[in-house]
Amino acid sequence: MGFRKYDSDSDDLLKYEDIIKMFGPRDKRYCDVLTARKPFNDGLCFMRAKCFLPDTLTDFSRLLLLILNTEARINSLKKSLL
Protein backbone atom coordinates (compact mmCIF):
# COMPACT_ATOMS: atom_id res chain seq x y z
CA MET A 1 0.00 0.00 0.00
CA GLY A 2 1.08 3.62 -0.46
CA PHE A 3 1.39 4.10 3.28
CA ARG A 4 4.66 2.18 3.44
CA LYS A 5 6.20 4.60 0.99
CA TYR A 6 5.92 7.36 3.60
CA ASP A 7 6.69 5.28 6.72
CA SER A 8 10.44 5.90 6.96
CA ASP A 9 11.17 3.36 9.71
CA SER A 10 8.55 0.73 8.72
CA ASP A 11 6.84 0.74 12.11
CA ASP A 12 3.35 1.33 10.64
CA LEU A 13 3.28 4.78 12.23
CA LEU A 14 3.85 8.13 10.58
CA LYS A 15 6.28 10.41 12.39
CA TYR A 16 6.40 14.18 12.07
CA GLU A 17 9.23 13.86 9.56
CA ASP A 18 7.16 11.43 7.47
CA ILE A 19 4.26 13.87 7.36
CA ILE A 20 6.59 16.72 6.42
CA LYS A 21 7.79 14.64 3.47
CA MET A 22 4.17 14.21 2.39
CA PHE A 23 2.86 17.74 2.91
CA GLY A 24 5.93 19.90 3.37
CA PRO A 25 7.58 22.17 0.85
CA ARG A 26 9.54 20.52 -1.95
CA ASP A 27 12.14 23.27 -1.96
CA LYS A 28 15.02 22.05 0.22
CA ARG A 29 15.65 25.47 1.78
CA TYR A 30 12.07 25.88 2.94
CA CYS A 31 11.93 22.29 4.12
CA ASP A 32 15.14 22.80 6.14
CA VAL A 33 13.66 25.90 7.78
CA LEU A 34 10.51 24.00 8.69
CA THR A 35 12.27 20.95 10.10
CA ALA A 36 14.80 23.05 12.04
CA ARG A 37 12.07 24.79 14.03
CA LYS A 38 11.80 23.71 17.64
CA PRO A 39 8.30 22.95 18.88
CA PHE A 40 6.90 25.30 21.51
CA ASN A 41 5.81 22.31 23.58
CA ASP A 42 9.05 20.33 23.45
CA GLY A 43 9.23 17.88 26.35
CA LEU A 44 5.59 18.20 27.34
CA CYS A 45 3.37 15.14 27.40
CA PHE A 46 -0.10 15.75 26.00
CA MET A 47 -2.68 14.29 23.63
CA ARG A 48 -1.83 15.78 20.25
CA ALA A 49 -5.26 14.98 18.84
CA LYS A 50 -6.83 17.33 21.39
CA CYS A 51 -4.89 20.24 19.90
CA PHE A 52 -7.11 20.22 16.81
CA LEU A 53 -10.78 20.85 16.25
CA PRO A 54 -12.76 17.75 15.23
CA ASP A 55 -13.36 19.24 11.77
CA THR A 56 -9.63 19.71 11.29
CA LEU A 57 -8.94 16.08 12.23
CA THR A 58 -11.66 14.92 9.85
CA ASP A 59 -10.28 17.05 7.02
CA PHE A 60 -6.74 15.85 7.66
CA SER A 61 -7.89 12.22 7.71
CA ARG A 62 -9.74 12.67 4.43
CA LEU A 63 -6.72 14.32 2.83
CA LEU A 64 -4.43 11.53 3.99
CA LEU A 65 -6.82 8.89 2.61
CA LEU A 66 -7.05 10.79 -0.67
CA ILE A 67 -3.26 10.84 -0.99
CA LEU A 68 -2.93 7.15 -0.18
CA ASN A 69 -5.75 6.17 -2.54
CA THR A 70 -4.25 8.27 -5.32
CA GLU A 71 -0.89 6.61 -4.72
CA ALA A 72 -2.55 3.17 -4.98
CA ARG A 73 -4.28 4.17 -8.23
CA ILE A 74 -1.02 5.43 -9.70
CA ASN A 75 0.69 2.15 -8.85
CA SER A 76 -2.20 0.21 -10.38
CA LEU A 77 -2.00 2.26 -13.59
CA LYS A 78 1.76 1.76 -13.77
CA LYS A 79 1.33 -2.00 -13.48
CA SER A 80 -1.35 -2.05 -16.18
CA LEU A 81 0.94 -0.17 -18.57
CA LEU A 82 3.77 -2.68 -18.23
CA angle 19–46–9, rounded 5-degree value: 35
Q: What's the pLDDT tens digit per position in 25-76?
A: 889 898 888 878 877 777 777 777 778 899 998 998 898 889 888 888 988 9
Q: What's the pLDDT tens digit per position in 3-30?
A: 677 788 888 888 877 887 888 888 989 8
Q: Which domain holds residue 55?
A: 3-81
CA distance 4 to 11: 9
Report pTM: 0.59
User: How many separate domains does the chain show?
Assistant: 1
Q: Is 67 exposed, middle or buried (0-12, 13-18, 19+ CB in 10 A)?
A: middle
Given pLDDT bands bounded at 50, 70 and 90, which one contains residue 80? very high
